[in-house]
């Protein structure tokens, strides 16, 4: 594993240089209600989504080093996937931890991360993040407030946690080319932390009826596409568990006027890549894995490199043939990636392989898990 990481590090210089060279050509993060480019209007839109951002102390230390010892800079950490993320019409991430302040940044089991992460996500091209997770209440209501304030300052939209009841009841709708996309987010648990007193709306808890109700409300609010992010599953298990399978069936089967209420499900939490599957005609990503994390140990305390492996999902939606019809996913792709803990960089494994890094084994292992439930027969392909 150490040798493999060193090979990845050798390929990083060329990859990051290539990314920097084309960065100026990529679009800036979109905002709700912005103008739709003519090309997007003709072709529909592309949506890219990635897994957990979970900064351990080593990750935070790397960001401080990249900032020259003053402050924290997470932009270099993500530069390897910036070309994929920024070219999408809409890019979504999962911010698993809350932000601290004034250097009070902590690691597992109670996370408080530097707010500069929000700036790094924005610079990479992310338009929005889900914020409902088992760590959403690691610092109570103050942590929620600091996190959402920082995302707001960076221009990154968010969903899943809230500072006020009015915010909790407001649908997060983002522009994706010609379409309006609602982003909803929920978590199975808050890590044993109670909801703040008098604030039962602070974090969205996962419940089938609530999700369907919210999805229908999003549609009434004008959403063409409804995307649901779920923090769920069993840690270190690359197969979806019974709850994931049951809930995905229930959510994708729900319809209003013959039209599905949910158009895409994006899963996080398990720390490892999990399968993609088309369920009742709707794509479900059971788990994307950790996009950013330090060295990970499994439930038995053994170091497990899968905790630094993940995928980017990329879905191309095509506008309906008739008004009020469904925006269909006409192209579904996954891009295997890993977080090189030695270099402190997210690496697109296909690009690293093209640069000569010896990452074929890990790339192929991720591919096999992603396709393990037969998604290839429904058209899922590995992208670049």
* Model pLDDT for residues 188-203, shown as the tens digit of each residue: 999 999 999 999 999 9
Q: Which of 41-45, 176-180, 265-269, 345-349 has the lowest mean pLDDT?
A: 41-45
With a cut of 60, say whether residue 34 has pLDDT above it. Answer: no
Kindly report the CATH number that applies to the domain delimited by 2-31+44-234+252-270+299-382. 3.60.21
Residues 6+ apart with CB under 8 A from 333: 313, 314, 315, 380, 381, 382, 383
Q: What is the mean pLDDT of residues 99-123?
A: 96
DSSP string, 255-303: EETTEES-SEEEEE-SSS---EEEETTEEEES--BEEEESS-B-TTS-B
H-helix or E-strand spanning residue 142: helix 140-154
Question: Confidence band (pLDDT; 50, 70, 90) for 362?
Answer: very high
How confident is the model over 124-128, as a mean pLDDT?
98
DSSP H or E stretch at residue 98:
strand 98-99
Report the C-alpha gap between 231 and 136 in whole angstroms. Answer: 11
Question: Domain residues of the chain, as ranges?
Answer: 2-31+44-234+252-270+299-382
Q: Is the pLDDT at 157 greater than 50, yes or no?
A: yes
- Around 165, how many Cα atoms within 13 Å sit in the side-chain half-sphere? 4
Q: What is the pLDDT of residue 192?
A: 95
Mean pLDDT of 136-164: 98
Q: What whole-number distance in Å separates Cα of residue 64 and Cα of residue 61? A: 5
d(CA 352, CA 357): 5
- What does the pLDDT read at residue 316? 98
Look at residue 43 in the predicted model and tell me its pLDDT: 72
pLDDT digits (tens, 9 = 90+) for 195-231: 999 999 999 999 999 999 999 999 999 999 999 999 9
Do the Cβ atoms of 296 and 271 come closer than 8 Å? yes
225-231 and 157-159 beta bridge pairing: unpaired
Q: Please report the pLDDT score of residue 247 as a whole number.
A: 98
For residues 142 and 100, what is the distance between their CA atoms, to the nearest angstrom?
9
Q: What does the buried/exposed string (b/e) look like for 89-124 if buried means 16 or more CB atoms within 10 Å of the residue's CB?
A: bbbbbbbbbbbbeeeebebeeebbbbbbbbbbbbbb
How high is the pLDDT of residue 14?
44
User: Is the pLDDT score of 29 beyond 70?
Assistant: no
Specify the pTM. Answer: 0.92
pLDDT at position 42 is 57
Query: In the predicted model, what is the mean pLDDT of residues 148-152?
Result: 98
Report the SS3 class of residue 204: coil
> Mean pLDDT throughout 240-267?
98
Q: Over the stretch 316-359, which tens digit does the pLDDT of each residue have?
A: 999 998 888 999 999 999 999 999 999 999 999 999 999 999 99
Instruction: Using the predicted structure, report yes or no on whether residue 16 has a pLDDT greater than 60.
Output: no
User: How confident is residue 291, by pLDDT bands cut at 50, 70 and 90?
Assistant: very high
């Amino acid at each position: 594993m150490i040798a493999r990481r060193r090979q990845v590090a050798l390929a990083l210089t060329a990859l990051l240089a290539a990314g920097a060279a084309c960065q100026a050509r990529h679009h800036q993060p979109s905002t709700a209600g912005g103008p739709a480019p003519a090309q997007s209007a003709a072709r529909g839109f592309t949506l890219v989504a990635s897994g957990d951002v979970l900064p351990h102390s080593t990750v935070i230390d790397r960001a401080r080093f990249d900032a020259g010892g003053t402050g924290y800079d997470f932009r270099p950490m993500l530069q390897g996937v910036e070309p994929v993320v920024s070219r999408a019409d809409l890019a979504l991430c999962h911010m698993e931890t809350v932000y601290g302040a004034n250097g009070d940044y902590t690691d597992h089991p109670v996370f408080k991360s530097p707010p500069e992460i929000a700036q790094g996500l924005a610079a990479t091209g992310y338009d929005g993040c889900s914020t409902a997770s088992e760590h959403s209440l690691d610092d109570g209501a103050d942590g929620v407030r600091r996190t959402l304030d920082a995302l707001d300052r960076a221009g990154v939209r968010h969903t899943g946690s809230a500072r006020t009841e009015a915010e909790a009841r407001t649908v997060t709708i983002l522009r994706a080319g010609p379409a309006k996309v609602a982003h909803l987010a929920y978590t199975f648990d808050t890590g044993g932390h109670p909801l703040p007193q008098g604030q039962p709306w602070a974090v969205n808890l996962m419940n089938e009826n609530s999700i369907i109700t919210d999805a229908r409300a999003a549609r009434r609010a004008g959403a063409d596409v409804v995307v649901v992010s779920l923090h769920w599953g069993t840690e270190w298990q690359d197969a979806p568990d019974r709850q994931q399978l049951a809930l995905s069936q229930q959510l994708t089967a729900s319809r209003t006027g013959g039209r599905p209420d949910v158009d895409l499900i994006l899963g996080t939490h398990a720390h490892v890549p999990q399968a993609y599957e088309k369920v009742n005609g709707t794509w479900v990503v059971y788990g994307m894995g950790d996009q950013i994390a330090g060295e990970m140990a499994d439930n038995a305390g053994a170091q497990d490199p899968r905790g630094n492996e993940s995928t980017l999902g990329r879905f191309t939606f095509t506008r309906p043939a008739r008004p009020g019809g469904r925006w269909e996913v006409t192209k579904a792709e996954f891009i295997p990636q890993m977080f090189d803990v030695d270099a402190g960089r997210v690496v697109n494994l296909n690009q690293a392989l093209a640069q000569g890094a010896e990452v074929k084994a890990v790339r192929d292992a991720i591919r096999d898990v992603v396709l393990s439930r037969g998604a290839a027969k429904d058209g899922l392909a590995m992208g670049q």
